[in-house]
Structure 1
């Protein structure tokens, strides 16, 4: 059980370390003296990237529960 919580904790911490910019955005934002715009772009990209993973993870979880309950009744 502790392994599951450790794995979940690691998965939640990984996006905080990610740098998500395309090369064009990075080139434009690195030329600016103020780096707050680059940090804002990174946060926005990570925020938008989170929802497809949550959706697929939720579908996978419900499929797992469905198959687990089906095997219990058989």
Structure 2
């Protein structure tokens, strides 16, 4: 369905929007994992400083 909807030269903006949406959906999980990992790292660092 996507291929049929995006076929042709007149749908360049639609194709770009679909590509941007795909990239957005692919990047979000990596960002979430990175943010959660950073928060866990900070939590362990603060516990380490309190123990000293």
Common fold: TM-score over 0.5: yes
Counterparts of 1:20-39 in structure 2, within 5 Å, are: 28=3, 29=6, 31-34=7-10, 35-39=12-16
Structure 1 gap segments, 5+ residues each = 1-24
Q: What CA RMSD, in Å, does the superposition of the two structures yield over aligned residues?
A: 1.7
2:36 alignment partner, one of 40, 48, 59 = 59
Higher RCO, 1 or 2 (CA under 8 Å, sep at least 6)? Answer: 1
Aligned length: 47
**Which contiguous aligned blocks of 4+ residues in structure 1 show a shift greater than 4 angstroms?**
none
Cross-structure match for 2:21: 44
The structure whose residues are more often helix, as a share, is 2
Specify the structure having the higher radius of gyration (Cα): 2
TM-score (norm 1): 0.51
User: Does 1:68 find its partner at 2:42?
Assistant: no
TM-score (norm 2): 0.67
